[in-house]
Amino acid sequence: MARASFSQATWLVAEREMKTLVTAKGFWIGFAFTIIGLFALTILPTVFGGDDPKVAVVGSATQAVQGKQLDVLEVGSVQEAADLVRADDVEAAIVPDGAGIKVLALNDAPDDVVAQLVQAPPVELLDASAVTSGQRAVTVIVFGLVFLMFGMGGAAIAQSTVTEKQTRIVEILVSTVPVRALLAGKILGHTILTLGQVVVLALTAPIALRVAGLGELLGVVAPALGWFIPFLMLGFVLISSMWAVAGALVSRQEDLGSTMGLVMLAVMGPYFGVQFFFENPVALKWMSFVPFTAGVAMPVRLFAQQAQPWEAILSLGILAATVVAILLVASRLYTGSLLQTGGRVKLSKAWAPAE
């Protein structure tokens, strides 16, 4: 009789996982939110932060605002200008004060208006970077969020595993194909889908940046993005093998919460770690070599031009080695727990050789 080879079985499992996921509405809604969210994150600051401050100007003070980036409204008297300030119609009023001028504002000194009126001394950066700290902050958030979302998306693997255990189709599957093919197929299927989504995001990112008027940033983002993809994919394989084990340890969807904690920690921990410490070069450097945080930390360092390509390759190597190790561990735990039913399987029991 014909037999499905290991790779055929793996592919069949992968194919089914992908088909199940892409025919689910939730998948597309989630993906749409991701794209919309990333566009919003890039574009909104320019939309909301773009207007010049609105000021009322009286008499001779008009000369002081000429050629400045201010939205000027000329009024007849100081009293009239002060009323506009009180009514919040303008951010500030600029009025003559003896030989000079004076700024009237409600309860806060209007820094953006004042900055336009003073003569700033020229600044020369000794260590100029193409990337401002603001841009770096946005990159950390974007890379971090993407990693977080796909990492959490791996929970679908846990759910699909529990479905198989709960419905007991797992008995048919296990008597038909090797357990390793089931695990490999699940990880492969979800990784391909994630890669597909990342490619779509990577292709739309330049559009978002152009719309936001940040086209010049593209030259800096592109290489970092190029590095981000392999880091993200390997990081995803790492996390998804953990999701698979989390699913195999329980027998019902309701119990999934009890095993998902550790995996969520492995996904959220790096996200918050990088968010909190990205301003600290030493911490960021360390994080860029630790497998779980490397996926976000190393691309951010590359983006900020703080890391050499060899560092990225080394980090990627460490990540790949960790993936292999975790896969071996996960495969044993998955095999040991897949057929155990009733309550949560202890890790030690899953690890023990089969009876």
Partner 1 sequence: MLTVRGISRSFGDHKVLDEVSFDVRPGRMTGFLGANGSGKTTTMRIVLGVLAAHGGTVSWQGAEVGPQNRPDFGYMPEERGLYPKMKVRDQITWLARLHGVDRETAQRNTDALLADLELTERAGDRLEELSLGNQQRVQIAAALVHDPALLILDEPFSGLDPIAVETVLDVLRKRAAGGVPVLFSSHQLAIVERLCDDVVIISKGRIVANGSREELRARHAGQRYEIVVAEDAGWVRDVPGVTILELDGPRAVFEAEPQQVLRAALDRAEVRSFTPVVPTLDEIFREVI
Binding site for partner 1 (CB under 8 A): 1-4, 8-9, 12-13, 16, 19-20, 24, 163-164, 166-169, 171-178, 339, 354-355
Residue entry with tokens 């890039």:
42
Please give the Cα distance from 348 to 260 (Å, whole number): 17
Q: Are the C-beta atoms of 32 and 92 separated by less than 8 Å?
A: no
Please give the Cα distance from 6 to 319 (Å, whole number): 26
Name the token pair of 335.
Answer: 């095999």
Q: Positive or negative CA dihedral for 141, 147, 151, 152?
A: positive
Q: Kindly tell me which of 157 and 232 has the beta carbon lying closer to partner 1.
A: 157
CB of 167 to partner 1, least distance (A): 3
Please give the Cα distance from 74 to 64 (Å, whole number): 12
Q: Are the C-beta atoms of 288 and 313 separated by less than 8 Å?
A: no
Please give the Cα distance from 136 to 123 (Å, whole number): 21
Task: Give the distance between the most distant pair of CA atoms in the chain.
Answer: 102
DSSP notation for 192-249:
HHHHHHHHHHHHHHHHHHHHTT-GGGHHHHHHHHHHHHHHHHHHHHHHHHHHHHHHHT
CB of 308 to partner 1, least distance (A): 47
CB of 24 to partner 1, least distance (A): 8
Q: Kindly tell me which of 102 and 168 has the beta carbon lying closer to partner 1.
A: 168
CB of 295 to partner 1, least distance (A): 31
Q: Kindly tell me which of 19 and 86 has the beta carbon lying closer to partner 1.
A: 19
Q: Kindly tell me which of 166 and 306 has the beta carbon lying closer to partner 1.
A: 166
Q: Are the C-beta atoms of 231 and 319 separated by less than 8 Å?
A: yes
Q: Kindly tell me which of 168 and 210 has the beta carbon lying closer to partner 1.
A: 168
Q: Kindly tell me which of 4 and 36 has the beta carbon lying closer to partner 1.
A: 4
Q: Positive or negative CA dihedral for 98, 104, 108, 112?
A: negative
CB of 2 to partner 1, least distance (A): 4
CB of 30 to partner 1, least distance (A): 17
- Count the Cβ atoms, other than its own, within 10 Å of residue 188: 21
Q: Kindly tell me which of 2 and 118 has the beta carbon lying closer to partner 1.
A: 2
Q: Kindly tell me which of 17 and 91 has the beta carbon lying closer to partner 1.
A: 17
Q: Are the C-beta atoms of 186 and 160 separated by less than 8 Å?
A: yes
CB of 193 to partner 1, least distance (A): 17
CB of 23 to partner 1, least distance (A): 8
